[in-house]
Structure 1
Amino acid sequence: MNYQDLKKYMTIVYELEEEICFQNELMAKLQQKISSLGISRNINPPKKPPTKKITIPIFLSAPIAILAGIGLVISLISFVQIFWEFDLKHMFAGWIALVIFCYIAGWALEQWDKTSKYNSQYKREMDKYNRDLEHYQEEIRKNKYNQQNEEKLKNKLINNLMGLQAVNKGTKECLVRFYNMEIIMPKYRNLIAVSSFKDYLDEGRCYELSGHEGAYNLYNIEARLDKIVTQLDAVISNLSEIKYNQYSLYQAVKESGERTNLYYRQWVRSTNDFVDSYNNNTNITNYRLQRMNKELEYQNKLLRSRYSYL
């Protein structure tokens, strides 16, 4: 294969590798989003305060009132009799009755005071409980509404993901057909190596793949000298640093990330707002048609000639 044909071939392979990189990134992001949708929130109901206390139990009200009344009457009678005729027996009975009356009245007042304070606190807690209950019920309604919307969004994103997986399969098959021409050695069939070969050929640093001055040898030398990055994870984490030594790789990864964000935002937004996005270039149907046309163009070139078509 001559130099010009090799450059064209490398450009096609590079474009296919770049597209697969974009598709893989977008599929991973969609899958992550899908996994997070339709999950019901755990909303705990508010805790109701204990039952309101009664000052004095109803079944004790009558006996207490009777005892207090009896004590008061006896004490009054006794003190009246003492006034008219001094009598130790009457005085003693009067004091006993008065003590009983005071004890019962004091106990009742103490119970009323304690219960009154408790019930005031209970009322405040019930008011807070009722507010929390309204908020809880509102959160339940919101959660149900959001969950229904998320289920709709989830189903639409699943459809988009399935469509994207079908496109990805077709792109990979197209790439395999070009690799099967055995122009690039199997160990170099990846985005990083292909993008470096494209740079070497475009810059005129080499004019063939094999040989002492070929792209393979130049790539291996630069890798050993750490002039280029050969691991994709390191490329992503050091993207700005490879801009000058590996420009095509930099462009591929950068544009892949930008396109991923664009498609992702558009798909999530359009499904959330129930917008018909068929007129949008990021729509999965339009994207599939674009890729089919592009890959058909590549395959037609492949059919016209095995080596001189490019």
Structure 2
Amino acid sequence: MAMIKCAECGKEFSDRANACPNCGCPIEYQAEKSIGGEYHAADKLAPSVIVEHLTIAKELESERYTLQLAIAKIQSKINTLGYYNQFTPPKSVSVKKFFITALITLAILIPIYLVIDSPIFVSYLSNLTSNSYDTIDFMNNSVQIKIAISIIGPLCILAFTILNGSISAMRANSKYKNAVQQYNNLVNNDTARVNNENIQKQQLKQQINDMQDKINNISETLNQLYSLDIIHPKYRNMITVIRLLEYFDSGRCTALTGTGGAYNKYEKEIRQDTIISKLDTAINCLYQIRDTQYMLYESLEDCLDELGAITTQNDKLISTNQDISQNSAIAAYNSKIAASNTDALVFIEAYKGANGL
């Protein structure tokens, strides 16, 4: 019989024992320690405890990630609010309309006047209005008609031109006044919209601040949870935690370390590129990971669903000029976060109590 030194507590015990009688460290991990392996205290735990720890970490990591996505989405929305639209004010064209119409009228009436004032037409009118064939009488009649046309014609042209131009100008001015009214309504409505959006921007910024506080609280709870050293620091992130949990949940692993442990299995999959280890990559190719990382797929789907509920209700409240702080989706999600945080703290205290920490 030989004595060996426990790799965990340093006490000596018989190599025929199954575990260190002082701390319970399994005998197989003493051999791993002697050849450079490292015993992890979590391997003394029942798989159910590891699963509970990973499950709580998964929930907290997912909730933190959802809030991070929500903050980015809300910030994008903020960047679109509070900007004035550009409207072109109408221009008065009444004077222009007057002159254009007057010129057109003159262009029509002057040729007519020239025809009427021509000797041929004057003679024709003299014949129509003369009661005798006396040449002198005909000439006198022609002169009178010529004078009448020369006086009345330009006056009629002038009067009709002014009248027609004025009517056109009045119509143009009426359209201008309507256009000004519409322009003022657009500007006033746009100003009211911007004022409302500026209020909404402040509410959204407060929403971001509240979410950041939640993220800080979750991070603090996660730090406390991870400080129990149940899982190695290298694996304390959302994707890895979910993958390790999937190993246990599917029955593929019952321990973290060792040849068939969750750590080795995870490292092997990373080396073989059979799984995605970066969150940004995973979220951008969600359906591609459905078969290989189903639990991560489900978690990200839940994150996106929660995100969709929050942003959709925000958009609805914004479009109806309602108080954004009344977003019931955020209130419900905050309740979920509070429940997860409570579960984590209960687990932490229970674990510390059971292990004398």
TM-score (norm 2): 0.63
Q: Could you tell me which of 295, 304, 309 is aligned with 2:350? A: 304
Q: Is 1:47 matched up with 2:85?
A: no
Contact 1:157-1:268 at 8 Å conserved across structures: no
More moved, 243-252 vs 112-121: 112-121
Q: Is 1:205 matched up with 2:249?
A: no
Q: Could you tell me which of 153, 161, 165 is aligned with 2:208? A: 161
Contact 2:60-2:337 at 8 Å conserved across structures: no
Q: Is 1:217 matched up with 2:217?
A: no
Map of 1:194 onto structure 2 = 241
| Structure 1 vs Structure 2 CA RMSD | 4.1
Map of 2:127 onto structure 1 = none
Shift of 1:204: 1.4
Equivalent position amino acid for 2:346 in 1: N
Looking at structure 1, the residues matched to 236 and 165 of structure 2 have their Cα atoms a distance apart, in angstroms, of: 79
Map of 1:274 onto structure 2 = 322
Shift of 1:239: 1.0
Map of 2:341 onto structure 1 = 295
Contact 1:223-1:229 at 8 Å conserved across structures: yes
Q: Could you tell me which of 184, 187, 204 is aligned with 1:140? A: 187
* Offset from partner CA, 1:116-168 (integer Å, 9 cap, x none): 88777656654543332222111112112222322332232222222221111
Relative distance call for 1:153 and 1:239 in structure 2 (3 A) is: same
Contact 2:66-2:306 at 8 Å conserved across structures: yes
Relative distance call for 1:249 and 1:283 in structure 2 (3 A) is: closer
Shift of 1:214: 1.8
Relative distance call for 1:267 and 1:276 in structure 2 (3 A) is: closer
TM-score (norm 1): 0.71
Looking at structure 2, the residues matched to 208 and 117 of structure 1 have their Cα atoms a distance apart, in angstroms, of: 98
* Offset from partner CA, 1:186-244 (integer Å, 9 cap, x none): 33222111111111111111222233222222222223333212222321222122112
Shift of 1:294: 3.0
Contact 1:270-1:277 at 8 Å conserved across structures: no
Looking at structure 1, the residues matched to 286 and 72 of structure 2 have their Cα atoms a distance apart, in angstroms, of: 20
Q: Is 1:240 matched up with 2:287?
A: yes
Structure 1 residues without counterparts, runs of 5 or longer: 57-82, 85-97
Larger Rg: 2
Shift of 1:277: 7.5
Relative distance call for 1:276 and 1:29 in structure 2 (3 A) is: closer
Q: Could you tell me which of 12, 15, 22 is aligned with 2:56? A: 12
Looking at structure 1, the residues matched to 165 and 269 of structure 2 have their Cα atoms a distance apart, in angstroms, of: 82
Looking at structure 2, the residues matched to 265 and 210 of structure 1 have their Cα atoms a distance apart, in angstroms, of: 44
Relative distance call for 1:46 and 1:186 in structure 2 (3 A) is: farther
Looking at structure 1, the residues matched to 235 and 52 of structure 2 have their Cα atoms a distance apart, in angstroms, of: 17
Where 1:51 maps in the other structure, the secondary structure is: helix
Looking at structure 2, the residues matched to 295 and 143 of structure 1 have their Cα atoms a distance apart, in angstroms, of: 44
Looking at structure 1, the residues matched to 292 and 271 of structure 2 have their Cα atoms a distance apart, in angstroms, of: 14
Relative distance call for 1:240 and 1:198 in structure 2 (3 A) is: same
Contact 2:56-2:343 at 8 Å conserved across structures: no
Shift of 1:178: 1.7
Q: Could you tell me which of 261, 264, 272 is aligned with 2:308? A: 261
Looking at structure 2, the residues matched to 158 and 195 of structure 1 have their Cα atoms a distance apart, in angstroms, of: 31
Looking at structure 1, the residues matched to 312 and 68 of structure 2 have their Cα atoms a distance apart, in angstroms, of: 16
Contact 1:5-1:308 at 8 Å conserved across structures: no
Relative distance call for 1:197 and 1:308 in structure 2 (3 A) is: farther
Looking at structure 1, the residues matched to 191 and 169 of structure 2 have their Cα atoms a distance apart, in angstroms, of: 32
Looking at structure 1, the residues matched to 353 and 47 of structure 2 have their Cα atoms a distance apart, in angstroms, of: 12
Where do 1:88-167 residues align within 5 Å?
125-167=172-214
Looking at structure 2, the residues matched to 281 and 265 of structure 1 have their Cα atoms a distance apart, in angstroms, of: 11
Runs of 4 or more above 6 Å deviation = 111-121, 275-278
Relative distance call for 1:37 and 1:5 in structure 2 (3 A) is: same
Relative distance call for 1:4 and 1:283 in structure 2 (3 A) is: closer
Relative distance call for 1:165 and 1:259 in structure 2 (3 A) is: same
Where 1:254 maps in the other structure, the secondary structure is: helix
Equivalent position amino acid for 1:236 in 2: I
